[in-house]
Structure 1
Amino acid sequence: MMSSKSFKLLSLADFPRLKPFFESLRFPLAIYSLPSLIAWNSEANPTYYLLEEDLLLLKMGGMLLREPERDCLLLPLSPARDVTPPELEDIARRHCIPTLCFVPENYVDHFGASTVFDRFSLTEQPDYSDYVYRTTDLVELRGNRYRSKRNHISKFRKMYVETGRAAVEALSAANIPDALIFLERWCAENNRCHPEENPNLALESQASRILLEYLEFLEAQGIAVRIDGEILAFGIATTLTGSMKILNVEKADAHVRGLYQFLDQECARHLFGGVEFINKESDMGVPGLASSKKSYDPVKLIRSYEMSLRNRAGI
């Protein structure tokens, strides 16, 4: 039976009201970050929500699903409890949405494959598996696996930091306008912010802009690298779980050798204190992003799945 309540389009103003549902989050996929959901929300990639008793239901559609006409549910969130597979089946049936997407592998492990498979078929979403790193690895960059990263950083430091040309500063209301100017230039130079060229990267650039403009409101943190008085790189992080934060945004001028590697280490050092893991999100199936994320030697991938009702009678 269809629920009489309607989903509402997620908006920036919903952040304070919905924040409690994310404070004890147990799902380590970056898409379950409330700031990310808000920042990525758009006409091309809408997210909707509905409050049902002690649950927050989230519904997505659009470009990330690569089937714009199809909706799917995310796992429901509750501040106090997990939602069982039988409950998921009931929710899917009541709202006539037979598929849940972005289901992290730890949900399946927690309830057991047999319990899940009784009601749902499972399909991996390989383009949306998240890359996870140990914070100390990216701060210290020890061993042969990071030799090239250390070399790039050393050359950057000698040319820019030790000569006083470069400095790291926290993102704040005072310098966010300069970071936005750099983002616009980065978009123009890389031709990566136009929906007709690359829809996913255009959405990612939109999300970067929103996270910059509403950094404090969304309780995000960031740093910027200024070279010769101009911001040429910045990174933004948000909290996901008690042991993990997300590096949501990382932009650097590709013409400055070693800047990206320097930014990455400084983000790990300044934005991830107190958490064991850094989640750098998925590669969205973009080969260049996949290569870059793999080069930092992730300690694990958080796999993402679709769960579809086996019995769709009545939907």
Structure 2
Amino acid sequence: MNKIPEYPESAVFSKDIKDLVEPLLQNLHDGISELTFYSLLIHSKKYDYRLTKTKTGAVLLLRKKNGKDYFVPLNKMPSNQEIETLKKDGYSAVLVGESILKDFLEREPDKVSAFEKDRDNADYVYLKTELAELKGKTFHKKKNHVNSFVKNYAPAVELLTGKNVHDAAEILEKWQQAHLEIPSDYETAKAALSLIGEAPFFGIVVYIGAEPAGFALGETLGGGETFCTHFEKGIESYKGIYQYLNQIMAAKLDGQIQFINREQDLGDEGLRQSKMTYRPYKFIEKYKEKM
């Protein structure tokens, strides 16, 4: 494909459009966890992602969630007239980055009341050194969990590659069997593992004896200072596996990484409390149109 279709036409989000959309995504500087090419690719089936472009040059990601239609601006907001057309067609804006919204509101200041922060989708960002070292009173209990895990299980850690991706897949299958009763990210995690060696993912696999016990994977965002952890899966019979995965992944990251984006809580109160206990350094805010 040599160009992005003009709305209302659209193209399925696939590897075929990589050369068209990846430069736009790399030019985004807000650090939104969803907006990398491969993150979108592994979620494309789940959300029926499609790509389109308006007459004024706004490149939009169209998506479906819970039976509703949305658009995500990838370079700028559409014009007011185009937004009205999208609304008539059933679309509303989500995952709007701060810089794109700021630029839009400078042009259309009367629209400030039309948008609101989407707290459930705000990304949690942490200092890498804090997650890797777990120093101080705040992290005392977490450090104890990690120390106990190391003492009890003597884990070994390998980088995730094509040679051991089958071990990560085995962990994922066991994890899924233990969580059949709840909606999960099993399919997207499986898609991510299928791209090891192709996508710019970095990951680890934790072994206890000869048994694969957990894995984590993610990718570097934007200017190279932030790493986003997309998936962590562990065999929960190994007490402390998730605390260990969090800590050892941070410790294994490249020296230029200063921050770790651990994505959103999706409004899950238990997950929100857990994420807050790691003392986030900041949040990556995302905005949506008020309904």
Q: TM-score range by the shorter chain?
A: 0.7 to 0.9
Kept in 1, the 8 Å contact 2:265–2:271? The answer is: yes
Code of the aligned partner of 2:72: L
Give the share of equivalent positions with the same residue, in percent. 26
Q: 2:269 aligns with which of 277, 284, 287?
A: 287
C-alpha distance 225-13 of structure 1, shift in aligned 2 (>3 A): farther
Kept in 1, the 8 Å contact 2:7–2:54? The answer is: no
1:173-252 matched pairs, under 5 angstroms: 173-191=162-180, 197-198=182-183, 201=184, 204-242=185-223, 243-252=225-234
1:34 aligns with 2:37: yes
Residues 80-139 of structure 1 deviation map (CA, whole Å, 9 limit, x = unaligned)? xxx3x5x4435434655552111134444x438575542360133221111111111111
Kept in 2, the 8 Å contact 1:134–1:277? The answer is: yes
How much does 1:19 deviate?
Answer: 2.1
Code of the aligned partner of 1:74: V
Name the structure 2 match of 1:313.
none
Provide TM-score, normalisation by structure 2. 0.86
> How far, CA to CA, are the matches of 2:37 and 2:7 in structure 1?
25
> How far, CA to CA, are the matches of 1:116 and 1:251 in structure 2?
44
SS in 1 for 2:73: coil
Q: In angstroms, what is the RMSD of aligned CA positions?
A: 2.6
SS in 2 for 1:99: strand
> How far, CA to CA, are the matches of 2:144 and 2:80 in structure 1?
52
Kept in 2, the 8 Å contact 1:33–1:239? The answer is: no
How much does 1:235 deviate?
Answer: 0.6
Code of the aligned partner of 1:157: V
Residues 237-269 of structure 1 deviation map (CA, whole Å, 9 limit, x = unaligned)? 112221322100111122212221111111112
Code of the aligned partner of 2:213: L
How many residue pairs get aligned? The number is 282
C-alpha distance 118-211 of structure 1, shift in aligned 2 (>3 A): same
> How far, CA to CA, are the matches of 1:260 and 1:277 in structure 2?
19
1:275 aligns with 2:268: no
> How far, CA to CA, are the matches of 1:305 and 1:135 in structure 2?
26
How much does 1:206 deviate?
Answer: 1.3
How much does 1:18 deviate?
Answer: 2.8
Kept in 2, the 8 Å contact 1:132–1:299? The answer is: yes
Structure 1 residues not aligned, in runs of 5+? 78-82, 310-315
Code of the aligned partner of 1:21: L
Which contiguous aligned blocks of 4+ residues in structure 1 show a shift greater than 4 angstroms? 51-55, 93-98, 112-117
SS in 1 for 2:50: strand
> How far, CA to CA, are the matches of 1:271 and 1:13 in structure 2?
31
Name the structure 2 match of 1:302.
284
Code of the aligned partner of 2:14: S
Structure 2 residues not aligned, in runs of 5+? 1-5
